[in-house]
Amino acid sequence: MGFQPDLSHLLTRAEDLGPVEATLAKLRRLHERHFLFVTAPFGAFSRALAARLREEGARCSRVLLNGGDVLDWGLSRARAYFGPLERWKDWLGETVGRERVTDLILYGDCNPYCAAAKEVAARLGLRTHIFEQGYFRPFWITLERDGVNANSQLRRDPELYRTPSRVALPAKPVWLAPLTPPAVRRIFAYHVALGLLHPVFSRYRPAYVYSAHRQMAGHMRHYLIQRLVRRRARRELAQTLAQPGPIFVALLQRPGDSQLMRHSPFRSTADFIRHVAESFAAFAPAEARLIFKSHPLDPGLEPHARVVAQAAADAGVGGRVSFVDDGDLNELLKRVAGVITINSTSGLTALEHGRPTVVLGQAIYDIPGLTHQRGLDVFWLSPEAPDEELFAAFRRLEMARTQINGAYATRRGVELAVPEAARRMLAR
């Protein structure tokens, strides 16, 4: 009979053990970790991350909710869910118990499948690792425990950042090739596979307000229109910026964005537009101007220009309010007196430029000393500028705790991000 070592007596602290025993203890601990991917970024990121976690001795599997998940992951080490959304939470709870799952991995935390998964994790005491697009764009991704964006667990206390810290300054990120074309290709492939396997996963419910097909058609139409009117639009914007008086810019969210729907008092982008226009009309200086800027990934399915024009006319400020659907935000921020946002990560870009910013929803950076705290009506006359030292400390801590250099859409971006993501996820 071969010798079967009993590892139950080994301590978990590596410093108390010899090198061989420490290695065995580490492998034992890692083997007890079972990471279940519930949702993941489009493309090969989840497969690459799982391979790295397995190299370290952990177990990995994935839930397949639709055909896109099958394309990105395959069928090996997977559990397909074919039931209705109403049964999802019960099924997931049964699955993680049966499979001895210790960690859930999510992409975002607001869609119904992810929100229910967080509830299951909290009830069963599982670790939850949540990926998201980077708070600081473009060469960063976000990884947090238990919540991202408005659900982030990092406290909104300025003293947390003002306290002297040993956290190092973030390293200069590795430059990556343009991310939009490969991201578009991966998203397109994912949704083609989703459609082809819809008969198999017929009960899957996408979280979008608009269907993927409508969004794709909208993006193509929007792109063509932008190209046709770009020169005229940029000329009109330049004329607006050249006029005297303070200029404010209001940043629009993507229609149906979960940050808009779940973490703001507004039911739609149109509600936000009307609210801001009415406050501007009532409280802004007579010489002030207001620009509404669309989100760069807006599919063009909602008539923002018409809504802005109508809201401005109704408020009696039609000559001082405009809408732009193009242009470099960094260039625009050099000229404006203040920025109004719901909770867009572009608000961080505004703070980086030192621009007074007011948040009308819930955002990780809505902290006294960083953003204007006295409401929108006061903002037009007395906008509070961000504290440069506080922002530098905030950025340093957020980078260290939540940001990873890399990207989901390109091979090089995945190669950069996966080792650090795995290290943080495996850390106690």
- Report which of 244, 270, 272, 275 is spatially closest to residue 337, judged by C-alpha positions: 244
**Which residue is associated with the tokens 């010489």?**
287
For residue 45, give every residue at least 6 positions away whose Cβ sits within 8 Å of its Cβ, in sequence order, or none: 408, 414, 417, 418
What is residue 222's predicted lDDT score, i.e. its pLDDT?
77
What is residue 178's predicted lDDT score, i.e. its pLDDT?
84
**Cα 269 to Cα 305: distance, rounded to the nearest angstrom:** 12
* Prediction pTM value: 0.87
Which parts of the chain register pLDDT below 70?
1-31, 165-166, 168-170
What is the distance between the terminal CA atoms of the chain, rounded to a whole angstrom?
37
Q: Which two tokens stand for residue 270?
A: 């149109």
| Residue-range domains of the chain with CATH | 14-199+403-426 (3.40.50), 245-366 (3.40.50.2000)
What is residue 233's predicted lDDT score, i.e. its pLDDT?
80
What is residue 102's predicted lDDT score, i.e. its pLDDT?
98
What is residue 28's predicted lDDT score, i.e. its pLDDT?
55
For residue 394, give every residue at least 6 positions away whose Cβ sits within 8 Å of its Cβ, in sequence order, or none: 161, 365, 367, 370
